[in-house]
Chain A
Amino acid sequence: MRKILVFMLGALTSLCVSMGAMAQVKEIRVLLANHPYGDLLKSAIPEFENATGIRVNVESLQESQLTTKLTTEFATNSSSVDVFMTRPLQEGKMFYKNGWYEPLMTYDFSDYPKNVMSVSTFGQKSYIVPLVTEWQVLYYRKDVFKEAGIKVPTNFTELEAAAKKLNSDSLAGIASRGKGAAAVTQASSYIYNFGGLYLDKGVAVFNSKPAIDALRFYGKLLGNYGPKGVTSMSWENIMPLFQAGKVAMWTDASVFYGQIIDPAKTQVSAENVGIANFPAGPKMNSPFIVTSWGIAVAKQSKNKDLAMRFLEWATSKELAAKGMLANITMARSSVWEDPAILAKVNPGLVETRAYAAKFGNPLDRPYMSAVGEARDLIGELIIESINTRGASANLEKMAKEKVAKVNEILEDTGEYGK
């Protein structure tokens, strides 16, 4: 028996040694998201491998799977990931606090807009290279507007009037996300334009008068003129409705534009689909413009030099230009200034981006490490407001409770007041 054990141990050791020897080959492991830019990188990786001799083991995963996987690997301190795609607003703060991002000291960030960089930087150092931005816009049906003889709304009063006029049994006047936590990002621009915020310098303030007014307005719009069952709808549910011609206006992120004008995916012909700036509120017009995806080097990486080389390549201007041509709204500023590229990008996107890049807010959710919990809490307010068509007598009281809870979470994680 003992002999067998000794033999097995010996075999195992030699196996480990031989595996160690194999690791001498220059190779890195990269985790990408199921995202058009991830697909683009994946197809371009062979070029990188040929040019550098570095072997890239690439995996692509759906976003929540990606987060689960990264979290498990990093938390157990036994990750072999070198480079990974990441969502700065959703997981950035938590990953940074846990020390999972490697600071990018040598990277040249001069080509990225300031408001975009604000979410990649902690203290003096930057940790994430922004890849893709998206901003809030108003999608509308040109044909429906023409028939009704009204203009595209530029402020909230006009928005409500248009929604009221266009709403009918077969057509929802307006749609926007109503499903609790998922709606938090889309309600953000409404709150900003009323003059409110989710968090102000690390303190929850979404029970302020402007924020409550905004939540009431959001509830009134969707409760009265939204599609049936809007409180269980996220973009997955609203986009098909819009594509089936059941919605007159839709406020959501710019990322969906490509899909609602693609004849292979929609019943509404592209010429009848319009895109416009998000309407102004009583206080200002500052729709969100967020870095939905970035890319980072893992702190636990054992091949940081190789990882940096990959990162430089993956975020290069050349690939960003390719991304633009594939209808991906890249974060780099220079690609939005190159006439040769812009000639091939949809003018609606160029215009709305120009506005948002200048006046937009870089956050679309409470920016904290426990984003998910805070979103659930705020989501309850949104649902309450929609269910009561904005007239809930409880909203102030509920908001006060939720603010207290979010502040408690902020204190627990040591982010309160920072």
Chain B
Amino acid sequence: MKKKLVSTIFFYLLVTGIALVVLFPFVWMLASSFKTQVDIISWPPKFIFSPTLQNYQKVFGEQDFLKYFFNSTIIGAVSVGLSLVLGLPAAYSISRYAQKKLAVFILLARLMPGISFLMPWYIVFSRLNLMDSYVALILSHMLISLPIVVWIMSTYFSTIPREMEESAMVDGATRQYAFFTIILPLSGPGIITATTLSFIFSWNNFMFSQVLSMEKTKTLPIAVYNFVSYAEVDWGGVMAAAVAIMAPAIVLTMIFQKYVVKGLTMGAVKG
């Protein structure tokens, strides 16, 4: 009994220790977003201070962060949506017909440094008059989300026994019909995982938006830099903007967390 108590105490100590390390930067950021510039830089650090909403006022009042939120959401949602439309059938095909080479080829797109795509894209999009358009950004962000969808989903589909759709096909269903009515409804957790992960990657993407977007389609990670001026950093503004940007990602992850973990390990024991 005593032994159990000790190990329980030890367990919680460990958890608290890890939580402290992990949460500290986040708490620091959150606290700083409510501080004035003087309080942020003060040393020793102030843990008790009179909070101000001034930084958030800057983020949503002086700067048009609602517009950037809108841009990031549209670009993330549409690119993930299109990636699902293209990626789910592709993943199914890869899983059922063991198209390994194809899978590796798709992965290659993800492995190549994103920056190598930028110049060609810039040329193509500017000739097509698509600079600063949602089309260009959505297409570019699909480079991030499509491989994620294909890879997560092809392993996921492999965990669903072939007999499921085979029995439907024996009864006269086409493969397409079987895919839509039998396989997809069984793949909820996998789809949620792929969607969440690729949406977050798109949400956080800096490089593509930096070159392909201008004022109209500016996304959130770029907009944070509005608070970084020459020889001057508005730390309060940066922190408030960072909190505002992280909030949706954190909420999304918390809601879908159990699916994400499940989806990622699904098929892990399958050779």
Q: Which residues of A contact B (CB under 8 A)?
A: 16, 19, 33-36, 57-63, 65, 68-69, 72-73, 75-76, 78-80, 235-236, 240-241, 243-244, 246, 253, 255-256, 259, 264-267, 292-293
Contact = CB atoms under 8 A, between A and B. Distances in A.
Nearest to A244: B43
Contact of A36 (B36, B119, B229): B229
Nearest to B131: A80
A181 B214 CA distance: 30
Interface of B: 36-38, 40-43, 118-119, 122-123, 126-127, 129, 131, 210-211, 214-215, 222, 225-226, 228-233
20 contacts: A34-B225, A34-B229, A35-B229, A35-B230, A59-B215, A60-B226, A61-B225, A62-B229, A65-B225, A68-B210, A68-B211, A72-B122, A72-B211, A75-B119, A76-B123, A78-B123, A256-B231, A259-B232, A265-B37, A267-B38
Contact of A240 (B41, B127, B228, B230): B41
Given A34-B226, A65-B225, A264 B38 contact: yes
Contacts of B131: 80
A33 B210 CA distance: 14
A217 B209 CA distance: 45
Contacts of A58: 215
A80 B211 contact: no
Contact of A293 (B36, B42, B222, B230): B230
Contacts of A72: 118-119, 122, 211
Nearest to A242: B41
Contacts of A236: 233
| B41, B123, B131 pick with most chain A CB within 10 angstroms | B41
Contacts of A78: 122-123, 126-127
Given A68-B211, A76-B122, A265 B38 contact: yes
A203 B41 CA distance: 42
Contacts of A235: 231
Given A59-B214, A264-B36, A265-B38, A246 B43 contact: yes
Given A34-B226, A72-B211, A259-B232, 5 more contacts: A36-B232, A65-B222, A69-B210, A69-B211, A264-B36
A35 B233 CA distance: 11
Contacts of A259: 231-232
Given A59-B214, A59-B215, A75-B119, A267 B42 contact: yes
Contacts of B38: 243, 264-267
A19 B214 CA distance: 18
A98 to B, nearest CB: 14
B231 A76 contact: no
A245 B73 CA distance: 43
B123 A34 contact: no
| A33, A58, A75, A265 pick with most chain B CB within 10 angstroms | A265
Contacts of A60: 226
B126 A76 contact: yes
Contacts of A35: 229-230
Nearest to A58: B215
Nearest to A68: B210
B224 to A, nearest CB: 9
